[in-house]
Chain A
């Protein structure tokens, strides 16, 4: 046994050594790389420039005051500049604000404002310094400065500490380097670790910790019977390999990302496609995705890994937080409130990104420089600029990577072909392309390609709608909308052989929700469509036309298009909920029609449903295509015009135009045959505009706002990150500033950089926090000066270094932590140790945990053998959804059937409704996803007791568990069974007596109710 440990430790030490060397090199490398040293004959900042700043500038631009947001006492400040941007212009040194100010040039306040101006030689020195490249001292000095003056311990670059060796006696306890660090501190404080927890306790602890579910009696027994010395390690490996691990740890991540399935705020609408991000997290944890990749994907996966659907879905992180539909979509676009809403929405993304990955509270710098940490307002708005191009919106994507690649290539083709428009490019006149043109002409002459728009000759409304014919031959309905109406349209055509007629219902800005209908929601109902025809000039020969088929691009459920030709005015075609988009319906004739003298058609659109379910705008076309499915798009007028000329007599310009149009159509047609795309709610500019909520084509300009107020814009912010983080480039050099994706890529690189000491410290601390109930830093979202002080700074750095050096495997990190002796301690109370360290920061024992809300619910399902462990998919509602007064629906949790099949899924799949939270989960401190929740609180209160004691879910499952026990013969066996299911143990003889008495008197279900409320069930030793 001790050999094994010795071996483990020596292996660990070897790793340490290697890691140490690696770390040293990487640090040395980064210093050498970033440092810029001054050359002797050049102006030297420290000797020549700094003294001027110190004597004349820092009083107002220093540590105590930062007039104009400018600091000249630190390198970071000089680089960054002030409220009006950089003070240095390397291209035109004499145009540098620094020079202009000290000279007192026109429109520049002379600096310093008080006392004498700088001497000519001082000004010359400053100008020359800039001319030579404004070289600043090496980064090391900067680091020292930061540590001494501003940033706290968390800004010190990571180095791998050597785990403190312990005496031989103590080494027996040590299983891995974690234990060395823990033991060192315990010893220094005269404390000892607690004995190892009982195997049964350990099993319950590790099961819940890694998978969010306790062991079943069978799983427990299996472990207890495994006498192998590494039985526990084997169990850990098994649990880490279980898919339940991903569900458990994704749920933790969702807390931090403040994910929900609804928008929150006052219009708390359902987000039907947020869940792919939740599934992405579950997959990523289960696949043990390297952490740096995990970060990059969530910030800019769509740009970094095009064609990888998972990486695109990952950007759901950016959109996980609340969204103010009213402020960002509905209110007046030109109002100041719209700008405030945008600012706050970006703030949510910046805050979430920076607290999640770096534990920096950059949001404190929205209104002023951070009071405690080295984060300036310029830094903060630089981060807003990173996200200036994205909104929280639904983006289409292909879940199948093959389809995704195909679509990507078609789209790039399309872009290319569109660029050819109006050009006489040789490729358009290539033999192959000209063959397409020739084929087209053949079809054209045969008149079989397309829909021909019919020009309305007369339109009549039966009930007084004002019908107006527009230049594109569509008809729009204006004026007061009657309840019901019948439109009659007269059209004519010289063609014969017509096979069908098409009705397009079109959107229009003037219609409610852009129509195409006139009902308050933009819907319409076409009760019947009837056509009569007669030869031109012979109205007496009018005959009704028999319609054989009807198809539409969209049918409202229960309102399909065939109901418009069924002869019943009670039934109709509708388009809800696809309002706001144009639609079309195609009606096939039984036989081709057309008189030689020309044909006049009367089309009657009967809309007798009522409540203004009328067509708002429509257009009619006809085709001679034999198969209506082949009928192509309407041919644009420029093409028709060219086709008046026979192909042979067309010019190259004309043939190129047709060729380009055909090519574009071929690609579009191919795109149209691709499988329909899925949607994900994410941070993007690739989305369909919804009213005045429109994607930014180029990143929106971001101003540095004085006091965070929209009414006080300062200089424009350039994309970047926090300057004070040493060793990293905070000013992003973006090749194309209009490409918002590149901005996010730059931030993804900055965050996932191995040299970003914050990133790695923060993640290992989060993992530690979830295992122990408290982090080494007890404020997992705040690694600033106002955050917690690490209880074991060397251990934190060791874990972080080891984690980054070994490739960022979270599963390895879990394994290391949970197999340590530290983790395996019992929770045993020790009065002496308690007197010294009541908070157990030194970990002289394990912390007792309490099941979180989801674990409790899932455990109840598991214990009553009702857990459905199918994974993934749209969220499951644990409430009845009813229409609300306005946008937000009402959620009735009371009347929901908690026994419904879908309610048996794990809680991670539930529908999280921000402003209508689940009372059961809420009572157990489940956060409402308004803001990041890095740690769940553990409250104990009377309302919580009431919920656990009386809630329907708990009571029903007490009943189910009791029902399950009937397969046992005796009442005692039944009591034993339910105890094992819930407490992972058998009752003691004394308990058996009392519990049997109670359950005999009141029934087993009531006893289950008691057990479900017991502290022993709720708490985890």
Chain B
């Protein structure tokens, strides 16, 4: 029976694929794996790729074509960054400030539209490209020539929960894998010492949807984002034995792991034909390496005073914490983490980008949190040559309304918002897309999260239409049934 032979063969491939890429999940549901195989590659291609990985540890990556990007840092502005107060300059809005216009909108997500409101911040043109930036981003403005702007991003939702899911997973509903999980699943690890997908929430708390935004959904749990909390004594949960357990000693642990290894090896040897058992033996070896490697990453004392100064790590409170997270993001990608997500702002009504009541007072502090460290991160990545294969994405779940809410605030607006990318494979200093005269709706060259992720996957050597997993009857993709690679922003 042909299918049996095929299935047997595939199991072998699954294992070698898993081990080579450093990923040791054994897919209990082989369909997961087959779906990737079928829709992505012929089996022979997959084998060849696995072989070539063996020969070339530098791993140029790519499932379907050569990759330009090996790792991604995504900075996510939680709450909905106001585009017309940061990057989307609209002369008409300046001119018609205070006027009431009828754009056919009776109700916004949480209120009713007031009159037009120009940005209370000063606009200036930055860089050779002359991008407009307000003075809330003085540092970031210095790097506009490295960025490609998507000026007409659109969201299907004006509500934080669904919109955050959409921008992280491609779906409005919970339960779908986030982008980092897909990338971990598709490409595996670059290092055995650290998880492939790391998340650093704002020190003040998790974003809207909590852990849902970093979920592996229906992919194996090992692809889930690992949340780290650098200010905790245990930045990665359960990396070390829980405190206060008296019987633990390092000798007992070392001898114990040895004894366990022997027991589990014997158990596996007596039960051939079950690859999970061998994988368990290896999982403890890998875990031990991770235990040794992880603390070194968090040791920021190894960085120079100049680096600390640039990122602003000594700033008080959440600002300093964000600075340290940006610095850690660089250290993580440097050590082979594939996808690092850094969050600015926690869920809830305050201390994030959800500036409903007062743009002049609410936006500048949260902008100040990210401005200096993000600029420093770009500088640092460039200086270390990491820009050559690292992509930085600066994004949010939706934009805000050009009309006022509660006097000088702005309500949610999925109609248009701004995202920028910088780094490997990106055409520097360009912009794509345009919103309407007030920055209310995307007008020309609209883009969506599907296009954004199609582009990111493309840069990582993945055809977004071929990366799919069957779940409850549907071949699911990060880009749902949409998405086009945004070629005009590619180098």
Contact = CB atoms under 8 A, between A and B. Distances in A.
A850 B276 contact: yes
Interface in B343-392: 346-351
A166 B109 CA distance: 68
Nearest to A780: B472
A1010 B349 CA distance: 47
Interface in A863-918: 884-888, 890, 894, 914-917
B247 A324 contact: no
Nearest to B218: A931
Interface string B66-83: 000000000000000000
Among A787, A951, A1013, max chain B CB count under 10 A is at A1013
Interface string B284-310: 101101110000000000000000000
B237 A848 contact: no
B162 interface: yes
24 contacts: A265-B174, A268-B210, A324-B161, A341-B159, A361-B474, A838-B11, A850-B276, A885-B348, A915-B211, A919-B238, A928-B215, A930-B173, A932-B472, A939-B28, A940-B276, A941-B24, A941-B25, A941-B220, A942-B283, A945-B287, A962-B247, A1002-B252, A1010-B263, A1015-B280
A348 B157 contact: no
Interface in B370-419: none
Contacts of A334: 106-107
Contacts of B27: 937
Nearest to A887: B348
Among B249, B260, B290, max chain A CB count under 10 A is at B260
Given A836-B4, A937-B29, A337 B109 contact: yes
Contact of A886 (B159, B218, B286, B349): B349
Given A330-B110, A332-B108, A337-B162, 8 more contacts: A265-B161, A340-B157, A341-B159, A363-B472, A786-B473, A914-B210, A916-B210, A942-B286
B473 A885 contact: no
A322 B267 contact: no
Interface string B17-45: 00000001111111100000000000000
A951 B238 contact: yes
B277 A941 contact: no
B221 A941 contact: yes
Contact of B159 (A331, A361, A944): A331
Nearest to B106: A334
Interface of A: 189, 264-268, 322, 324, 326-327, 330-335, 337, 340-341, 344, 347-348, 355, 361, 363-364, 373, 778-779, 781-782, 784, 786-788, 827, 829, 831, 834-839, 848, 850, 884-888, 890, 894, 914-917, 919, 922-923, 925, 928, 930-932, 934-935, 937-947, 949-952, 955-956, 958-959, 962, 994-995, 998, 1001-1003, 1005-1007, 1009-1010, 1013-1016, 1018-1019, 1021
Contacts of A940: 24-26, 276, 279-280, 283
A106 B374 CA distance: 64
Contacts, number: 304
A827 B162 contact: no
A786 B38 CA distance: 14
A147 to B, nearest CB: 19
B210 A348 contact: no
Nearest to B278: A940
A949 B220 CA distance: 20
A324 B173 CA distance: 9
Contact of B256 (A914, A946, A998): A998
Given A324-B159, A1014-B264, A1019 B277 contact: yes
Contacts of A341: 159, 162
Contacts of B211: 915-917, 928
Contact of B161 (A327, A938, A941): A327
B488 interface: no
Contacts of B284: 942, 945, 949, 1013
B290 A946 contact: yes
B116 to A, nearest CB: 19
A946 B472 contact: no
B7 interface: yes
B248 interface: yes
Given A782-B472, A885-B204, A946 B8 contact: no
A834 B273 contact: yes
Interface of B: 1, 4, 7-8, 11, 24-31, 106-112, 156-162, 164, 172-175, 192, 195, 204-206, 208-212, 215, 217-218, 220-222, 224, 226, 234, 237-242, 245, 247-249, 251-253, 255-257, 259-260, 262-264, 267-268, 271-274, 276-277, 279-280, 283-284, 286-287, 289-291, 346-351, 470, 472-475
A330 B110 CA distance: 8
B149 to A, nearest CB: 27
Contacts of B226: 943
A885 B350 contact: yes
A759 B39 CA distance: 31
Contact of B283 (A884, A932, A945): A945
Nearest to B290: A942
B212 A998 contact: no
Contacts of A788: 31
A839 B348 CA distance: 48
Contact of B245 (A268, A782, A827, A952): A952
Given A335-B109, A885-B205, A885-B347, A344 B172 contact: yes
B291 to A, nearest CB: 7
A1014 B265 CA distance: 10
Given A340-B157, A787-B473, A885-B350, A998 B241 contact: no
Among A268, A836, A941, max chain B CB count under 10 A is at A941
A959 B474 CA distance: 46
Given A337-B159, A1014-B260, A1006 B247 contact: yes
B24 A1006 contact: no
Contacts of B474: 361, 364, 786
Contacts of A838: 4, 7-8, 11, 273
A787 B255 CA distance: 47
